[in-house]
Amino acid sequence: MSVSSSTPWVVHKFGGSSVADAACFRRVADILDSQPVGRLGVVLSACKGVTDALLSLVSQAERQDAGYAAGLEAVRERHATIARELLSETVAAAYLANFDRDSHDLLGILHAVRLTRSASRNVTDLVSGYGEIWSTRLFREFYAARGSRDGAVRWLDAREAVIIEWGPLGPMVQWEESRRRIAAAVPAETQGTLIITGYIACDTRGVQTTLGRNGSDFSASIFGSLLDASVIHIWTDVDGVLSADPRRVPDAQVIDSLSYNEAMELAYFGAKVIHPQTMAPAVGREIPIWIRNTFAPTHPATLICARPQSSLAVKGITTIENIALVNLEGAGMIGVPGTAHRLFGALREEGISVVLISQGSSEHSICCAVPLEQADRAVNVVRAAFARELTDGQIQAVEVDRELAILAVVGDGMAGIPGVAAKVFNALGSAAVNVRAIAQGASERNISVVVPAKAATRALRAVHSSFYLSDHTISVGIIGPGTVGKVLLEQIASQAERLRRDFKLDLRVRGVLSSRRMLLSEKGAGADWAGALAVSEAKPDLDAFVRHVGVDYLPHRVIIDCTASGEVARHYASWLAAGIHVVTPNKKANSAPMGDFRALQQARRQGGTHYLYEATVGAGLPIIQTLRDLRETGDEVTSIEGIFSGTLAYLFNVYDGTRSFSDIVREAKQRGYTEPDPRDDLSGTDVARKLIILGREMGLELEMGDVKLESLVPPGLEQGSIEEFMTALPKHDAAMQSRFESARARGKVLRYVGRLSAAGTATVGVVELDARHPFANIALTDNVVRFATSRYNNNPMIVQGPGAGPEVTAGGIFADLLRLSAYLGARL
C-alpha cells in the first residue's frame, strides 16, 4: 500500500530501558511493525545505562584514572553482543568498524581530558552523545534488514537538523534554522521510516551539544513539531502516567488522559511524567502525546493533549520531599506594600528556589517552601533583608521548619466543583496528618499542602484513596483461617466480584493470621490466599498484623476474629478505640467480666466504630438481631429459652435408652459433632456464655457466676487426657439412663436447655419437656430459641435452624461484615 507525501508523520520515542538489549530491540521492532501504514519517525535513547557510563569515563579521565579505556571497551562489548545477535556477520562487522573509529576518537578526547584534568561542557556533551549514535545506527541496520514496513529505513543524525542555543532556562530551539535544515534533510516527499538520534543536537556554532536530561523526550517533541507529526508516542517502562507513585501507593492507577497543563503541574511536583520543557514544542502545535509501556504495549496508556476527555476530576496526587518552610511573621507587615517583593527578591538574589508560597489575608505572616538543603541560607538571607524590622520589633520572627514535604493534588476538573478541597482535608484529617501551609492557584488546577515529611506517604495514600478508591473500600484482616475462617475466606472470594460490580463494595482481605504464619497483602489476598499463606515466611505477629490491616489511608478497617481465643479477644477494646471495626463469632469478649465488657463498649463509642457478633449465638441464625429488634421497637422481653448447642441437641435427640449415653458421645466425637475434647461441650460453659451474651443484650448485668450451670462432665473427670475421659465416661451411664427412664415414664423427653428471665435468673442444664414441646421435635443438630415478650406472649416467637457448622457460622460472620458495610454507607 503506497503512502502519499500528505500522510502525516507519527513520531515514536523509545527510552533507554526500551533498548537495553537485543530482546528489547526486537520488541521495539515488533511495536513499529504493529503500527498502521504511514511515515514513522523513531527517536531512540542510548541503550540503558550507556550515557551514565560515558559520563563516568569523563570523570575517570578528570581524575587521571586510566581505567576509562577498559570502561569504553566494556561499552563496546555490550553493543557488539547486541549487534552479533541481531545483525548478519557482514553488517555487524561494518557496524563495529564504525564503532571502533568512534572509540578511537573518544580515546583521544579522554586522553586530553586526563592530561588537563578538566573537561569542558562541550567535551562532556560530545562524549555523552555517542550512546544515541550507536543505538540508532544499530537499530537502523537491524530494522532495515527485517523489511517489514514499506519504504526505506533511513538514519537521521539530529545534529544535522536541530540547532539550539543554551540560555538561563535551558536549551532553546532555533526554530527557523532547524526547519530549514529538516526540510533539506527530509524532503516533503520522503517516505518510510526515520531512525533518529535522541538527546543530541548542534549549537549555533556547529558544535555538538545535548538537550540535557530527559533530552530524548525533548527530541521527540522537537521532531514532532519539525515533521508536523499527527501524534507522538513516548514508550517507556511504565503503563502511562500513574495517579501516584506506585512504590508508595499500591492502588495507583493509570490516568486515561491529561491536559498539557495537568501534565506540567504533575511533572513540576515530581511525578514521572514527560518534563514540561520537553513537551513545549508539541504543546505549541497541539500534537497529542501518548505515554505507553514498551514491555506491555496493550496495557492502558495515557493521552496528553489540549482537550482531554476524562471523567476524573483529580488526575494525580504527588509529593515533593526534602522541603523546609521559611516563615516571616510580624504585625509591622500588615498593610505595608512591598514586603513580599523584598522577601522573594532577597531569595532570588541568592539563587534560592521558592517552591510554594502561602500568605494569610491578614498579611500578618507569609511563608514559603524551599528545598531543605537551602533552608539555612534562606533564613540568613531573609534575616539580613529584614534586619532593621527585626531590630525595631516590626517583624517578630523569621523561623524555619524542617523535615517537611509538599503534597499536590492536580486536576483541571477541580475547577468550579464544590467539595474537592474538603475531600482533601477530610482525608488528611482522618489520617491524622497535620497541615502546615496551604496554597491553591486561581485556576483551581492545583491544591498544595505542606505536611510533615514523616507523614508524607500516609498523606499521599489517604488523599489518593479518597479520590481513586470506592468510598466503600474496607481493609479486612482475618485471624484464624481454620475450620470457620477458611470457609469465610472462600465465601468472601466467591462474592467479591459481584459486590464490587453491583455495589462498589471492595472487601479487600489484606491480612490473614494463623498460629504458624502470617500473610500481609496490599491489594488483597484474593482466592489463592491459602497458597500464598502456605508459602509466606512471615511469622505470626499480631501487632504487625493490626498495623497493616489498620492503615489509615483506606476508608475503613475491620478485623474478623474467627478464633475462640481469650487472648485475641482481650485486644478488641484497643482495636475499636483505634478506629478498627471488629466482627467475631468468639464469645470470650462478650461473656468476660462485666467491667471488661463495659470497657469494650466504651472503646467502641470512643473510636466511633462498630462491633458485630451475631455469630456468637446460633451461628448464622438471626438471634441477637431479633432480640435487638424486639427491644428497639419497644417490646418487653420477659424470657428467653432455647437449645443453644448443636452438639448437645444431637446427643439428646439420638439418646433413646437403647444405647448408652457414653456410646453416643463417642459416636458424635467420631462424626466431628463435638469439640476435639467433648468436655468443652458437655460442661455447658459454652451455653452459659451464650446466655450471658443474650442477657447483656437485654440490659442485664450477668456474670458467669450468676448462671446456675449443670455440667454433664461427671465429677472427677474434669482433668486428665481426652482418652482417659472417654474411657471413664461409661462408668457414669447409669445416672443418665435413670433420668431418661424416669422422664419417659411421665411422657417427657430430656433436652439440654438454657433459660433466662427478665429478672436475671439464668439456668443451664437438662430439663424434662413434654413430647409435643417445640424443643422436643427439632432436627438432630438444630438450635432453637424461643422469645417470650409482651407482644409474643401467648404464642412466643421461635427462631430455629442449624446453629453450628463451618458453612452456617461463616455465613453469619459474612452477614455481619455486609451489615457493617451497610452501616458504613454501602447500598446493598
Pairing of strands 208-210, 200-203: antiparallel
Element (H, E) at 737: helix 733-745
For residue 358, which amino acid is it? S
For residue 69, which amino acid is it? A
And the C-alpha cell for 823? 452501616
Element (H, E) at 520: strand 518-520
For residue 47, which amino acid is it? C
* Cα separation, 460 vs 407, whole angstroms: 7
And the C-alpha cell for 14? 523509545
And the C-alpha cell for 802? 442449624
* Cα separation, 620 vs 783, whole angstroms: 10
Pairing of strands 446-452, 762-770: unpaired
What does each C-alpha distance from 189 to 9, 39, 230, 239, 549 come to in angstroms? 12, 11, 17, 35, 63
Work out the end-to-end distance of the chain between its first and last CA atoms, rounded to an integer number of angstroms: 56
Is 193 within 8 Å of 149 (Cβ atoms)?
Answer: yes
Give ∠ CA 364-365-368 in degrees, rounded to 5: 160
- Give just the sign of the alpha carbon dihedral 261, 267, 272, 273: positive
Active-site choice (315, 486, 587, 690): 690
* Cα separation, 186 vs 189, whole angstroms: 8
Any residues with CB less than 8 A from the CB of 313 and at least 6 apart, and which?
411, 413, 414, 417, 420, 467
SS3 157: coil
What is the phi/psi pair of residue 734, to 5°?
-60, -40
* Cα separation, 205 vs 293, whole angstroms: 38
Pairing of strands 193-197, 153-156: parallel
Is 696 within 8 Å of 704 (Cβ atoms)?
Answer: no
Verify whether residue 690 is a known catalytic residue.
Answer: yes
Any residues with CB less than 8 A from the CB of 688 and at least 6 apart, and which?
591, 704, 707, 709, 754, 762, 764
**Residue 474: strand pairing partners:** 507, 556
Query: Alpha helix locations (H) across 709-760?
Result: 722-728, 733-745
Q: Alpha-carbon dihedral of residues 25, 28, 34, 36, nearest 10 degrees?
A: -120
Is 64 within 8 Å of 117 (Cβ atoms)?
Answer: yes
Is 640 within 8 Å of 787 (Cβ atoms)?
Answer: yes
Any residues with CB less than 8 A from the CB of 502 and at least 6 apart, and which?
none
SS3 785: strand
Q: In which residue are the cell numbers 452438639 written?
A: 647
The number of residues in the chain equals 828
- Give just the sign of the alpha carbon dihedral 342, 343, 347, 352: negative
Catalytic residue numbers read 690
